[in-house]
Amino acid sequence: MTERSSRPVTTPLASGRVKVSMKVLIAKNKPIYLAMVLALASVALASPRKQTQTTPDAQPQSARLIRTVEGPDLFRTYCAPCHGLDAKGAGPAASALKAKVPDLTVLARNNRGHFPTTHVSQMIVGDDIVAAHGSREMPIWGPIFHQIEADMDWGNVRVENLVKYLESIQTSTASNPPTGAELYSQHCAACHGSDLKGGGPAPAPFRTPHDLTRLAQRHGGKFLDAYVADVLRNGVIMPAHGPAQMPIWGVDFAMEGPGKPQAELLITNLTNYIKSRQRK
């Protein structure tokens, strides 16, 4: 028989014990362990880290919903840090932003004397974001205002009250209403073209816009002032032509301006401009 060595077996299976200590293994294989540590460190450094969004236009996830729905309170809490308590754009956080914080007291003055209710509301809730204009630094307050409290969503009430408060602090200024040419360029040229001949874009399923310079020709040389004004004011639905595709400007003008009297003046100005561009 072959003489067996009296040296103890050092495998993990021998008597369930490890005879060689971990310190001895590390000492003997120090280069290997060092290489493993360096490899793991390099992987950790190379792996992408989750970056925290710190840009000013980030969604204000930490914004706390205040329980009041009053416009002045909402403004002081959510708007004044950037726009200032006087709403003129000199709040304590304004200097940290890239763009100049606008003066909210001159919104009406900058819009020919009409407070842009719809635009302001869309800016607050985040519906008015134009990709071509770049990112916005103003937070989107819609999700914050619409948080559910006691099974009720008071978001729309908050937005409406905040918009009304902003309208109430506008600086009073005498301003002439926009001319018919200005109204046409702003509201009509996109479809009817700058020449009124219907050359604007008409994506499917919309029909080609009408040539507005031939309205008088189609009625024996007489321009129907009252009819055109009524179409602008109330829209028109012709069953043979399907649903109306042109906006009802009477409603839009009333929302953007101080009400129906001003809307009627805008409709008159726009009607007179179209009349002045009729073919002879």
270 has a pLDDT exceeding 60: yes
Query: Taking the CB of residue 87, how many other CB atoms lie within 10 A of it?
Result: 22
Return the C-alpha torsion angle 139, 141, 144, 146, nearest 10.
-160
Enter the DSSP assignment of 18.
-
For residues 165 and 154, what is the distance between their CA atoms, to the nearest angstrom?
A: 17
Cβ atoms of 169 and 108 within 8 Å: the answer is no
Q: What is 71-168's CATH topology?
A: Cytochrome Bc1 Complex; Chain D, domain 2 (1.10.760)
Domain ranges, ordered by start, for the chain = 71-168, 180-276
Q: Given this model, what pLDDT does residue 252 score?
A: 74
Q: Given this model, what pLDDT does residue 109 score?
A: 82
Query: pLDDT digit string (tens) for 51-107?
Result: 333 334 444 444 688 888 999 999 999 999 999 999 999 999 999 988 889 999 989
For residues 172 and 115, what is the distance between their CA atoms, to the nearest angstrom?
A: 11
Query: pLDDT digit string (tens) for 193-221?
Result: 889 998 656 555 567 788 999 999 999 99
User: pTM of the predicted model, to two decimals?
Assistant: 0.44
Tell me if domain 71-168 and domain 180-276 are identical in fold.
Answer: yes
Give me the percent of the chain exceeding a pLDDT of 90: 30
Of 69-73, 150-154, 241-245, the poorest mean pLDDT is in 241-245
Q: Given this model, what pLDDT does residue 54 score?
A: 37
More confidently predicted of 40 and 260? 260
Residue 188 pLDDT class (50, 70, 90 cuts) = confident
For residues 66 and 149, what is the distance between their CA atoms, to the nearest angstrom?
A: 11
| CATH of 180-276 among 1.10.3470, 1.10.8, 1.10.760, 1.10.287 | 1.10.760
> Which position has the token pair 């067996």?
4
